[in-house]
Amino acid sequence: MNESLILVDLLDRPIASGEKLETHRAARLHRAFSVFIIHNGKMLIQRRAMDKYHSGGLWANACCSHPRWGQTFEESVQDRLLLELGITKGTCCPQELFSFVYFTPFGELSEYEYDHVLLADYDGPLVPDPSEIMDLRWVELAALKQELEQYPQRFSSWFLIAAPRVLAMVGNV
């Protein structure tokens, strides 16, 4: 898999490519995406595999990754949905809601991302990749809001930023 990420400035303008691990070691701002999936008043969340290079064991949105240099944004999203969740290309068509910049250190690595948040309504089959995901669950929106308020330590840093905005946009919770 192409591991060249898209380095950007604070206005999300591409400035160069960067190898994935080196980009995270050097705390270089790079483009990312977070896909949120909802259906019938529930959100699909994943618990990241324990051996991920950061945030292992924490709950996050259905799918997240980085667009790859030389690939369109849509191709990157569809490739990642297939890899992480087994969602066939074209059966889930996320639309962008908003974007934000965040920085979170993880020892010698960090996430410094210009994160594009996307939303899709999907209720098809899911085949999680165990190297990426240790658990999946559908959670009622109101219950997720309560869980975020009571147990923030259970969630990834980007999810804590994006999820409240997504919840406010998709339902009265």
Catalytic site positions: 64, 113
- What span, in angstroms and rounded, lies between the C-alpha atoms of 28 and 81? 25
- What span, in angstroms and rounded, lies between the C-alpha atoms of 81 and 133? 12
- What span, in angstroms and rounded, lies between the C-alpha atoms of 26 and 2? 19
- Name 141's Cβ contacts closer than 8 Å, sequence gap at least 6: 38, 41, 42, 43, 167, 170, 171, 173
Beta bridge partners of 84: none
